[in-house]
């Protein structure tokens, strides 16, 4: 290799680099701002979508670096908060984790400076499909009280997760005095009380119920999708009350502070029980039919009044050859709603147990190895003290197993209440 | 006509060199990406060839490759900046493959086999034909893969294909399969065309 060639090559290479860098510098004068604009546009596009009249956005909170923000008391579900630069409001991004899928989805929410939601949006089509139809739109125009944004039926897990995530974002703004809190109506407060006082018609804290037609003092109401009872928002004078009725002829009335005021409102109790009677009768009839098949010679069926607000939809006592038995029919929320029937003897021990269907849509359970042999027999002979929750486990069917545990716990609780209340 | 065949084959190194097959496969699942990559290859190949042709008298033979690398890389960077400014979506679709053009066989074969040994006119014509033919191959593959594999064209859904799309074509397997089919067709046409000319 000639030294001259090496120097020549080096010179050309250096010159090439200098020219390239120079060209890039000149080109960057033109393309740099456009690229910056494009990058910002990609990040800001979802923000613009929920607040189209926004002039610009300034990030005021980032969950990846919360200490850099002056905002305090921001829930972990809140990923980023932006302030609209001309004072129109705020946009936040939140992550909602569905109790059912365990997957998280990001949503973008726009809020005006007076605390009204402009729009809630997600960009993942499959997750939108998992929501109750029209649920995203139900947020538009609402304040932090979220009136009318109800998670009551259909695919509630994703919807509940979204509602909670939106509430987290709104609370972050309220906690930092960026917007004012909305005021909840009495009906809202009472509706939110339902999961506490009637857990039997909820699943993972979400009310699983369908709306009922208002009548008389009943302003609005719900009937549990599992049929375990009804919840009514009732108005008397200027005051609103929540009346919850199980199918076991018991009704409780609560005021908006959550206090039990049943004794002072017996007229509401009567009205609520009348409204709930058809539902109660339906499950009583089903229970009688089923227990007649389960226990040959069963006769003298009598329904039992029990003050429980769980998944028990019917409770009866009956006789077989002069021996008294108790039949409990529970409908709990598993992969689908499960119809489970138990017959207990007078000591509270399970004599028989069965379900209409244990495993729904078997093909969806990759780890399902079939029903364990003698599964129902495993329950027999157990009472509330000897029952081991592991008895209810079906490998590969977690939701069904949990539903079976719930039903079994609930019927034992109902039996104990019935015994205390003088079912004998 | 032999020259035409050479141009065609040089324009489709991915059809001849297994190393280039992945390059075409990765950039041909969407027609917009294929057009973007075709544009980038055409511009980089053309400009690199012109510059190499201009300076070939001053470049020592043993230093051709490093000098060509610098020239091609420079043009790839400039094209990348332009595309980021004007077609950012296409840049996102192409991902790392746009930057990888700097080490692609297509411009190097042009600079070494044509620009270093030919005049400016032939260099320009060769680079143009190579770049255009490369684009045609990319778009042909992308048309098949996007329309049949994704049921869309230029990113817009084709309603009546929604239930008939063959998703495998949009993936890596489909990419190689379509490439093989296009290779077979091009070779058949090319051979026939050249044979006819020679007779």
Task: Give the tens place of pLDDT for each residue, A168-226.
Answer: 999 999 999 999 888 888 888 999 899 999 999 988 777 888 888 888 999 999 999 99
d(C-alpha A313, C-alpha A283), whole Å: 6
Task: Give the tens place of pLDDT for each residue, B63-115.
Answer: 888 899 999 999 999 999 999 999 988 998 888 888 888 888 788 888 888 88
Confidence of residue A372 (pLDDT cuts 50, 70, 90): confident
- Dihedral sign for Cα B113, B116, B122, B127, please: positive
pLDDT at residue B180 in the model: 83
A12 in contact with chain B, both atoms CB, cutoff 8 A: yes
Q: Name chain B contacts of A16, Cβ cutoff 8 Å.
A: 67, 70-71, 74
- Among A5, A17, A24, the residue with its CB nearest the CB of B81 is A24
Q: What are phi and psi for residue A83, nearest 5 degrees?
A: -105, 135
Percent of chain A residues topping a pLDDT of 90: 58
Task: Give the tens place of pLDDT for each residue, B42-54.
Answer: 999 999 999 999 9
* For residues B13-34, average pLDDT: 69
B142 in contact with chain A, both atoms CB, cutoff 8 A: no
B6 in contact with chain A, both atoms CB, cutoff 8 A: no
Which range in A3-12, A308-317, A410-419, B146-155 is most confidently predicted, on average pLDDT?
Answer: A308-317
B118 in contact with chain A, both atoms CB, cutoff 8 A: no
* A324: pLDDT strictly greater than 90: yes
* A383: pLDDT strictly greater than 50: yes
A17 in contact with chain B, both atoms CB, cutoff 8 A: yes
pLDDT at residue B21 in the model: 66
Confidence of residue A329 (pLDDT cuts 50, 70, 90): very high
Confidence of residue B14 (pLDDT cuts 50, 70, 90): very low
- Among A8, A23, A34, the residue with its CB nearest the CB of B85 is A34
* For residues A21-32, average pLDDT: 93
* For residues B18-27, average pLDDT: 66
Task: Give the tens place of pLDDT for each residue, A11-20.
Answer: 989 999 999 9
Q: Name chain B contacts of A30, Cβ cutoff 8 Å.
A: 85
- Among A8, A19, A27, the residue with its CB nearest the CB of B60 is A8
* A1: pLDDT strictly greater than 90: no
Higher pLDDT, A104 or A304: A304
Spell out the long-range contacts of A20-25 with Cβ–Cβ below 8 A and sequence spacing 24 or more. Answer: A20/B70, A20/B73, A20/B74, A20/B77, A20/B78, A23/B74, A23/B78, A24/B74, A24/B77, A24/B78, A24/B81
* For residues A399-409, average pLDDT: 90
B18 in contact with chain A, both atoms CB, cutoff 8 A: no
B164 in contact with chain A, both atoms CB, cutoff 8 A: no
d(C-alpha A68, C-alpha A77), whole Å: 18
pLDDT at residue A422 in the model: 47
* CA A78 to chain CA mean position, Å: 19
- Among B60, B73, B77, the residue with its CB nearest the CB of A9 is B60
pLDDT at residue A167 in the model: 93
Verify whether the Cβ–Cβ distance B78 to A27 is below 8 Å. yes
This model of the complex carries an ipTM of: 0.78
pLDDT at residue A364 in the model: 63
pLDDT at residue B19 in the model: 47
Confidence of residue A86 (pLDDT cuts 50, 70, 90): very high
Task: Give the tens place of pLDDT for each residue, B153-195.
Answer: 888 888 888 788 887 888 778 888 888 888 788 777 767 665 5
Higher pLDDT, A312 or A362: A312
* B4: pLDDT strictly greater than 80: no
- Dihedral sign for Cα B157, B162, B168, B169, please: negative
Q: What is the mean pLDDT of chain A?
A: 87
Confidence of residue B16 (pLDDT cuts 50, 70, 90): very low
Lowest mean pLDDT among A120-129, A271-280, B2-11: B2-11
Q: Give pTM, 2 decimals.
A: 0.58
DSSP string, B133-171: HHHHHHHHHHHHIIIIIISEETTEE-GGGTTT--HHHHS
d(C-alpha A368, C-alpha A232), whole Å: 40
pLDDT at residue B121 in the model: 93
């Amino acid at each position: 290799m000639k030294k001259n060639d090496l120097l020549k090559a080096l010179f050309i290479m250096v010159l090439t680099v200098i020219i390239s860098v120079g060209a890039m510098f000149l080109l960057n004068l033109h393309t740099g701002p456009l690229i910056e604009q494009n990058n910002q546009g990609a990040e800001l596009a979802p923000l613009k979508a929920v607040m189209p009249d926004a002039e610009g956005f300034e990030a005021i909170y980032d969950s990846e670096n919360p200490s850099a923000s002056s905002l305090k008391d921001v829930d972990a579900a809140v990923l980023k908060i932006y302030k609209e630069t001309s004072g129109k409001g705020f946009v936040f991004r939140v992550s909602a984790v569905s109790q059912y899928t365990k997957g998280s989805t990001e949503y973008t929410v726009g809020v005006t400076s007076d605390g009204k939601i402009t729009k809630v949006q997600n960009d993942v089509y499959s997750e939108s499909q998992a929501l109750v139809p029209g649920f995203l739109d139900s947020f538009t125009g609402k304040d932090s009280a979220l009136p009318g944004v109800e998670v009551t039926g259909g695919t509630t897990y994703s919807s509940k997760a979204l509602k909670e995530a939106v509430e987290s974002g709104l609370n972050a703004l309220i906690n930092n005095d960026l917007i004012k809190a909305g005021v909840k109506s009495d009906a809202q407060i009472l509706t939110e009380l339902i999961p506490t006082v009637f857990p039997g018609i909820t699943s993972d804290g979400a009310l699983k119920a369908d709306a009922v037609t208002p009548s008389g003092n009943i302003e609005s109401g719900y009937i549990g999708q599992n049929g375990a009872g009804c919840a009514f928002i009732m108005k008397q004078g200027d005051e609103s009350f929540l009346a919850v009725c199980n199918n076991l002829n018991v009704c409780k009335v609560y005021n908006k502070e959550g206090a039990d005021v049943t004794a002072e409102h017996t007229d509401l109790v009567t009205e609520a029980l009348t409204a709930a009677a058809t539902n109660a009768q339906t499950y009583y009839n089903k229970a009688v039919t089923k227990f007649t098949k389960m226990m040959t010679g069963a006769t003298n069926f009598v329904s039992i009044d029990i003050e429980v607000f769980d998944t028990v939809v019917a409770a009866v006592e009956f006789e077989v050859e002069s021996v008294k038995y108790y039949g409990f029919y529970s409908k709990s929320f598993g992969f689908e709603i499960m119809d489970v029937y138990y017959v207990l003897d007078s000591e509270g021990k399970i004599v028989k147990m069965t379900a209409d269907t244990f495993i729904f849509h078997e093909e969806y359970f990759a780890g399902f190895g079939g029903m364990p042999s003698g599964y129902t027999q495993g329950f027999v002979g157990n009472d509330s003290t000897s029952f081991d929750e592991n008895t209810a486990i079906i490998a590969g069917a977690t939701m069904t197993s949990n539903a079976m545990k719930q039903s079994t716990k609930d019927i034992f609780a109902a039996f104990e209440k019935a015994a205390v209340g003088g079912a004998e | 006509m032999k020259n035409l065949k050479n141009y065609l084959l040089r324009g489709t190194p991915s059809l001849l060199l297994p190393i280039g097959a992945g390059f075409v496969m990765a950039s041909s699942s969407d027609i917009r990406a294929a057009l973007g990559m075709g544009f980038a290859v055409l511009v980089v190949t053309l400009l690199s060839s012109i510059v190499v042709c201009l300076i070939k008298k001053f470049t020592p033979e043993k230093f051709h490759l490093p000098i060509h690398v610098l020239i091609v890389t420079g043009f790839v960077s400039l094209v990348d900046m332009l595309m980021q400014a004007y077609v950012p979506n296409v840049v996102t679709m192409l991902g790392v493959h746009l930057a990888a053009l700097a080490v692609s066989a297509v411009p190097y074969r042009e600079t070494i086999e044509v620009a270093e040994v030919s005049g400016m006119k032939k260099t320009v014509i060769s680079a143009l034909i190579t770049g255009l033919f490369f684009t045609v191959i990319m778009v042909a593959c992308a048309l098949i893969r996007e329309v049949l594999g994704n049921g869309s064209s230029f990113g817009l859904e084709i309603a009546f294909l929604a239930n008939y799309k063959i998703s495998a074509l949009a993936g890596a397997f489909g990419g190689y399969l379509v490439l093989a089919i296009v290779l077979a067709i091009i070779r058949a046409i090319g051979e026939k065309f050249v044979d006819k000319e020679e007779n």
